[in-house]
Amino acid sequence: MSLKSFLAKIFAQRIVAKTNKWVNNPETAQEKVFLNLINEAKNTVFGKDHDFANIKSYEDYANAVPVRDYEELKPYVEKMVAGKQNILWPGKPIYFAKTSGTTSGSKYIPITKESIKEQVNASRNAILTYIHETGNTSFVDGKMIFLQGSPELELKNGVKLGRLSGISAHYVPNYLQKNRLPSWETNCIEDWETKVNAIVEETIQENMTVIAGIPSWVQMYFEKLNERTNIKVGELFKNFNLFIYGGVNYEPYRAKFENLIGRKVDSIELFPASEGFFAYQNSQKDKGMLLLLNSGIFYEFIKADEFFDKNARRLTIKDVQLHVNYVMIISTNAGLWGYNLGDTVQFISVKPFKVIVSGRIKHFISAFGEHVIAKEVEQAMQEAIKATNASVNEFTVAPQITPQENELPYHEWFIEFETLPNNMEKFIAILDQSLQNQNSYYYDLIVGNVLQTLKVTQISNGGFKAYMKSIGKLGGQNKVQRLSNDRKLAEALIKLGSI
């Protein structure tokens, strides 16, 4: 056993013991986080606007601070982006994570020195928890790759700006720097296909032991390795035994990955976002991720089926139930208050509190990490219809994750036309280009050759009506689901013979 492996086991034991203290006292941990957040922010603009000085309990807070999404919090964020201090959190943020916006372009998510520390610690602790449970430390002496965005950052009114994965690249600990790939120069390549080819060149002869990234991007890396060597990834990297992922559901990719690798490897699921690091898989023996209750984030939950009710009840961890879809609301040491993250979770355990990500409160597609929402596909449809004199009765969009052999995945649009476009190729091109223009993640996936451009499948006249009737939702205010993150609706249309 190497010195690094020996020290990793000792460090892992210490971190797990520290973690267990708050795991065994979850409500106390959350109350401590809550009181600290209120106290730290009471003299900020937001704190004064919401009378933080007189908030003594969670009930006070829930009465003073409404649930908001980014658009509703945006006036405060804009002041921060303009360079003003003490708006949502004391001082200035040290970064803005730039993400694709849902209704008004890019979002700027503040990251403070306090919140980035918690993000870094959570990433580290996920691996140390794995070491403690499995005893596996062999990977610490090999090479590790983290497929991520460029670490080059812009400067905006004195605050650094970039994508979260690029920001995170600046926080790889010193003891991992020699193990870390790709090189800084390769990591800074913006064009994804060029970058992956460079990563293949840098890693193909190395002793790769840990590979991390969003599954759709890692799949492309594995496929290029297979093309170059004509052997399985697990044979090429004989000591590769740990895959770390987050961002999308891994299950649709698992069979494909095991085929590309040629064997099974352990995996760790993470639940990170620009807004915070919320959970990580803490056991190889069961599914679900440990909700981080001692990391500068106070959690609230609203039942998903009640979320749009005027007086929907806000719950803390002491009130949640198992296997119920909840919208997760966060208040953080980055200055997000009563913030609707948009994700829905289910608790699969409350001793300890463990969650799975069950979806989004609004319909979406993010099978590849693209976060496409209804507004974006509806705008794309409007543009295509106008340009080709088409008319459409109904449509829905689903991902095709496992297309025919040697074909890239894609978005499949199921459309019931009233009047066909005067030029179908133009119609499809406008749909796809509009989506790229609106959604930077989708654009990256197309340009990076992770996805091919979308495909249209025509639905026969009355097909959607037959579908809605088959599920007992014909008429009234029932609507066809515009977006799906799986193919249940698509397969139902096919089964009904609507195509």
pLDDT at 391 > cutoff 90? no
Average pLDDT over the chain, rounded to whole?
A: 90
pLDDT at 211 > cutoff 60? yes
Q: Residue 23: which H helix or E strand, with range?
A: helix 3-23
Q: Hey, what amino acid is at 197? A: N
The DSSP 8-state label assigned to residue 315 in this structure reads B
Q: How confident is the model at residue 175 (pLDDT cuts 50, 70, 90)?
A: low
Going along the chain from its start, the domains and CATH numbers come out as 1-361 (3.40.50.12780), 364-495 (3.30.300)
Q: Residue 301: which H helix or E strand, with range?
A: strand 297-303
Model pLDDT for residues 343-379, shown as the tens digit of each residue: 888 999 999 999 988 777 766 788 898 888 777 888 8
Q: What is the pLDDT of residue 256?
A: 80
Q: Hey, what amino acid is at 353? A: F
Measured CA distances, 337 to 76, 320, 341, 355, 390 (Å): 11, 20, 11, 21, 45
Residues 6+ apart with CB under 8 A from 130: 136, 242, 266, 268, 284
Pairing relation of β-strands 372-373 and 364-365?
antiparallel
pLDDT at 249 > cutoff 80? no
Q: Taking residues 384-407, report their average pLDDT.
A: 91
Q: How confident is the model at residue 63 (pLDDT cuts 50, 70, 90)?
A: very high
Residues in a beta bridge with 267: 243
Pairing relation of β-strands 326-332 and 297-303?
antiparallel
Is there a contact between 140 and 4 (Cβ–Cβ < 8 Å)? yes
Q: How confident is the model at residue 103 (pLDDT cuts 50, 70, 90)?
A: very low
End-to-end alpha carbon distance in the chain: 60
Q: Taking residues 148-162, report their average pLDDT.
A: 88
Vertex 318: Cα angle to 317 and 320 (nearest 5): 65
pLDDT at 404 > cutoff 90? no
In b/e form, how buried is each residue of 17-53, taking b as 16+ CB within 10 angstroms?
eebeebbeebeebbbebbeebbebbbebbbbeebebe
pLDDT at 331 > cutoff 90? yes
Q: Taking residues 184-210, report their average pLDDT.
A: 91
Q: Taking residues 240-262, report their average pLDDT.
A: 84
Q: What is the pTM of this model?
A: 0.80
